[in-house]
Amino acid sequence: MIVVEDLHRHFGGFRAVDGASLTIKTGSITGLIGPNGAGKTTLFNVIAGRLPPTSGRVLMDGQDITGLPPHVLFHKGLLRTFQIAHEFGSMTVRENLMMVPPNQAGETIWNSWFARGRVARQEAEIRKKADEVLEFLTIGHLADQKASMISGGQKKLLELGRTMMVDAKIVFLDEVGAGVNRTLLNTIGDAIVRLNKERGYTFCVIEHDMDFIGRLCDPVIVMAEGHVLAEGTVEQVKSDERVIEAYLGT
């Protein structure tokens, strides 16, 4: 689904991404691991249109998407969630989901502006969809809570929920487990697996928790010093000497 070809992103003289080439296969949950400073987040930012690359290409389903802005990628079904969740704290959890703009073909903001009779019906449909998403994620009971009041892990689930309000094809998850307790991490893991199996989502996941990676991801891609060092199952990369050395060297 995604092919990254010889990607570079330099900051001044510093090569944060330095010739990274990788493939994310349709239907996979691909893990992206590597020591701190390996260039994982920068790579995500370039793929997701938040940073232009210095050189190299990103293809989605064979189409060149290099440097396209996030809103264009969003309409193609490429979404990225953040290490720090970006919720609207003063709104309820349900309202946060209802804020997500639709990305289906033909459903533009103008449709809803000019077809005023349809607005109420659309709002009811969006509300129903939001409630279905919350049930799917097992946080239906939080629908009317202010988003600022829910836990860090629940915010991560809300971020996943946002991707379900639209027709996502591939979702990039940045450190979904950071600061999340084990029980919620399992809930997040289950949601990712179900989205993958039942809704056909492809995922690329940056994560430090190797248990989480091991349970979810195949393949696992290891980055170090801006490029890909190894790829394989979690067991394969864990016993790869180059990988061990890269982790020990930091």
CB 237 within 8 A of CB 220: yes
Q: Please tell me whether residue 19 binds ligand ADP under the rule CB under 6 A.
A: no
Span interacting with ligand ADP, options 31-39, 69-77, 103-111, 154-162, rule CB under 6 A = 31-39
Query: Nearer Cβ to ligand ADP, position 180 or 224?
Result: 224
How many other CB atoms are there within 10 angstroms of residue 86's CB atom? 11
Span interacting with ligand ADP, options 32-40, 60-68, 124-132, 184-192, rule CB under 6 A = 32-40
Q: Please tell me whether residue 36 binds ligand ADP under the rule CB under 6 A.
A: yes
Q: Please tell me whether residue 154 binds ligand ADP under the rule CB under 6 A.
A: no
Q: For ligand ADP, which residue of 2, 30, 39, 228 counts as binding (CB under 6 A)? A: 39
In the three-class reduction of DSSP (H, G, I as helix; E, B as strand; rest coil), residue 63 is classed as strand
Between CA 12 and CA 133 the distance in angstroms is 43
Q: How far is the CB of 208 from ligand ADP (least distance, A)?
A: 9
Q: Please tell me whether residue 38 binds ligand ADP under the rule CB under 6 A.
A: yes
Q: Please tell me whether residue 63 binds ligand ADP under the rule CB under 6 A.
A: no
230 Cβ contact partners less than 8 Å away, ≥ 6 residues apart: 221, 222, 236, 237, 240, 242, 243
| Bond prior to 52 in cis (omega within 30° of 0) | no
Query: Nearer Cβ to ligand ADP, position 39 or 102?
Result: 39
Q: How far is the CB of 169 from ligand ADP (least distance, A)?
A: 23
Q: Please tell me whether residue 214 binds ligand ADP under the rule CB under 6 A.
A: no
CB 233 within 8 A of CB 216: no
**Cα distances (angstroms) measured from residue 192 to each of 118, 171, 200:** 33, 10, 10
Span interacting with ligand ADP, options 36-44, 57-65, 194-202, 239-247, rule CB under 6 A = 36-44
Span interacting with ligand ADP, options 34-42, 85-93, 131-139, 155-163, rule CB under 6 A = 34-42
Query: Nearer Cβ to ligand ADP, position 22 or 130?
Result: 22
* Residue of 173, 170, 140 lying closest to 154 (CA atoms): 140
Span interacting with ligand ADP, options 33-41, 55-63, 115-123, 190-198, rule CB under 6 A = 33-41
Q: How far is the CB of 178 from ligand ADP (least distance, A)?
A: 12
* Residue of 20, 78, 49 lying closest to 231 (CA atoms): 20
CB 216 within 8 A of CB 29: yes
Q: Please tell me whether residue 34 binds ligand ADP under the rule CB under 6 A.
A: yes
Structure-token pair, residue 69: 């802005």
Q: How far is the CB of 38 from ligand ADP (least distance, A)?
A: 4
Q: What is the DSSP string of 197-250?
A: HHH--EEEEE-S-HHHHHHH-BSEEEEETTEEEEEE-HHHHHT-HHHHHHHHT-
Residue 210 has phi, psi (to 5 degrees) of -70, -30
Question: By the criterion CB under 6 A, which residues form the site for ligand ADP?
Answer: 11, 14, 16, 34, 36-42
